[in-house]
């Protein structure tokens, strides 16, 4: 059964209703009922809506873990490229999600189309990085030389993607110099379009499905 705790709202699967919450440890909680406060067990059986939410969040987690493990199996170029692709296609509306799904499906099925479209995405991304660097200079901010765990939002979202790159095959270390347009330019798009790895081939339809 799916249980939920009214103290901390932890929702979880369990064979039986536990006496205390496995997350916060509470046994009882006070509930307001018709103007009176009644003490009762903290953990109760989840409602229909909570169960639906729980199941969806489990699915989302599985999809996310799958995407992460696929990314680890990709080549370095594919890994970096998948970050750019996701950045350039963050559909917010239903229509945009549909058009992105159709787009992913078309490049997955047609290597020629992928080889033709990828350079456009690369140009878009590179120009955003250039613009964000310009904005940083205008604001009088200097870019960190070492690769920070988390780039402040002020650095711009495209730059943050660039800083998440895996180091490229030329072994250039971000510790010596910040990643630059060369890191983007060196991604072998022809190879990704025409000879994708099994992990990249699997990544596209997974992403496509996640949009539906």
Binding stretches for Zn ion (CB under 5 A):
5, 7-8, 10, 21, 23-24
CA distance 195 to 212: 27
Of 11 and 73, the one with the shorter C-beta distance to Zn ion is 11
Q: In the bound complex, what is the minimum distance in angstroms from residue 61's beta carbon to Zn ion? A: 19
Whichever of 11 and 164 has its CB closer to Zn ion, that residue is 11
**Which residue, 169, 186, 74, 71, is CA-closest to 126?**
186
CB-nearer residue toward Zn ion: 41 or 178: 41
Write down the least CB distance from residue 1 to Zn ion, Å. 16
Q: Closest distance between Zn ion and the C-beta of residue 89, in Å? A: 38
Q: How far apart are CA 112 and CA 156, in angstroms?
A: 32
**Smallest distance from the beta carbon of 6 to Zn ion, in angstroms?**
8
What is the number of other CB atoms lying within 10 angstroms of the CB of residue 23? 14
Instruction: Please give the structure tokens belonging to residue 143.
Output: 């870019």
Give the nearer residue to Zn ion in terms of CB position, either 3 or 85.
3
CA distance 34 to 56: 32
Q: Which residues contact 111 (CB under 8 A, 6 or more apart)?
A: 193, 194
Q: How far is the CB of 26 from Zn ion (least distance, A)?
A: 5
Question: Which residue in 174, 184, 181, 180 sits closest to 145, CA to CA?
Answer: 174
- C-beta closer to Zn ion: residue 9 or 137: 9
Structure tokens at 45: 């059986």
């Amino acid at each position: 059964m799916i249980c939920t705790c009214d103290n901390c709202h932890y929702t979880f699967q369990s064979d039986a209703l536990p006496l205390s919450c496995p997350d916060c440890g509470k046994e009882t909680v006070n509930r307001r009922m018709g103007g009176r406060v009644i003490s009762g067990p903290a953990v109760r059986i989840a409602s229909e809506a909570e169960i639906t939410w729980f199941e969806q969040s489990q699915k989302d987690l599985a999809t996310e873990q799958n995407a992460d493990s696929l990314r680890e199996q990709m080549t370095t170029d594919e890994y970096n490229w998948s970050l750019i692709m996701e950045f350039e296609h963050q559909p917010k509306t239903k229509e945009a999600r549909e058009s992105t799904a159709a787009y992913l499906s078309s490049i997955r099925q047609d290597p020629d189309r992928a080889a033709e479209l990828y350079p456009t995405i690369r140009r878009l991304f590179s120009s955003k990085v250039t613009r964000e660097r310009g904005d940083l200079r205008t604001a009088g901010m200097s870019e960190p030389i070492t690769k920070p765990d988390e780039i402040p939002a002020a650095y711009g979202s495209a730059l943050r993607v660039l800083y998440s790159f895996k180091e490229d095959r030329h072994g250039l270390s971000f510790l010596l110099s910040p990643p630059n347009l060369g890191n983007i330019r060196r991604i072998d798009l022809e190879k990704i379009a025409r000879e994708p790895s099994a992990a990249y081939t699997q990544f596209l339809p997974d992403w496509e499905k996640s949009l539906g």
